[in-house]
Amino acid sequence: MLTITRSRSKTSEINHEHVLLMQPTDQEVKNVKVKHHVPPSFLQAALQKNALPSVKLRGDALMMIVQAPIATEKKKGIAYDSIAIGIYLAPTYTVTICASTHPILSMTTTFSHEYVLALLQLIAMHTIDALYEIDMRVTETENKLKTAIHNKQMFNLMAYNRSLTMMARTAKANQMMVHKLVYELHTWLDGEEDQQLLDIEVALNQAANMAQVYNINLGGLMDAYSAMIENNLSISVQRLTVYILMAAVPLGAAGIYGMNTPLPFQDAPYALTIIMFICVVMIVLSGFILRKKQII
């Protein structure tokens, strides 16, 4: 989808054209490449899902690739994924390209340098909001696990773990890209923009640290529930073994009286009642002994 918007910068009288490409066709990419002289290698890199964040100058144009978190469907086994967004900023136009649709691209309405700063700020805020949402989902899943442990809930925790790992990695990569923009390409910025980028760098660093802390806590939670599952399984096997041992007493007596040999009480009128009473006494006695030894 190709969208072109024109506006006038707040700091100059120059009209600025903004070209937005979301899920572009090959023809749309080709047209933008020819009309706006965008390097093909940059367009191809920006359309790669796992493109690493980077920034560099090409003449008087700035080429930037950032990673933004995006919510995914549950069937993919991950709550959040990341998507690359490419920005080619020239004096009179801006080209933004993304292989998928993303809500932050439609929320950004400023242009030129302001557009880059606004987009980076939105990515930082969106990352922090996504981390809070994941933490809330983990808490909800934890509350469900307190009453019953199901495979689905454990798989959800694994999905959140993968999401947090991804978000920590992308937030750190975005922070390094912004750091390079501040300290190596500072001539491209004025004093106010430099300060805004420093604030964005701090926000991205905060997001990366939050993701790491949440991931460590989630890892500890998963280890705790794994230990609980193993402990519950061990207790269940132990109890099952005890029940089998106790049930073996009447089965053994029944097996003995199934033999074709002379046996006690076989001619007594109440032989079955006597034998059952003896079996019950033996079961109660064995249960008492096992309880005394704290086996059950």
State yes or no: pLDDT of 224 exceeds 60.
yes
C-alpha to C-alpha distances, 133 to 34, 137, 173, 207, nearest whole angstrom: 42, 6, 21, 13
The tens digit of pLDDT for each residue in 72-129 reads 765 555 578 889 999 998 888 888 889 888 888 876 555 567 778 888 889 999 999 9
Q: Report in angstroms the alpha-carbon separations of 64 from 89, 149, 261, 262, 293.
A: 8, 45, 94, 96, 70
Pairing of strands 93-98, 15-22: parallel
* Residue 223 vs residues 154, 158, 204, 213: alpha-carbon distances, Å: 11, 11, 28, 15
pLDDT > 90 fraction of the chain, expressed in percent and rounded:
12
Report the interhelical angle of 191-256 vs 151-183 (nearest 10°).
160
* Distance of alpha carbon 10 from the chain centroid: 40
**What's 184's DSSP letter?**
T
Q: How far is CA 190 from the centre of its chain?
A: 37
Work out the average pLDDT over 165-179: 90
Domains of the chain in start order, with CATH, are 2-231 (3.30.460.20), 257-292 (no CATH)
Which of 80, 77, 175, 76 is closest to 136 using CA atoms? 80
pLDDT tens per residue, range 136-168: 988 888 888 777 767 778 888 888 888 898 889
Cα separation, 153 vs 101, whole angstroms: 29
Instruction: Rank 5-19, 73-87, 133-147, 241-255 by mean pLDDT and report only the highest.
Output: 133-147
Mean pLDDT score of the chain: 81
Sign of CA dihedral 166, 170, 173, 175: negative
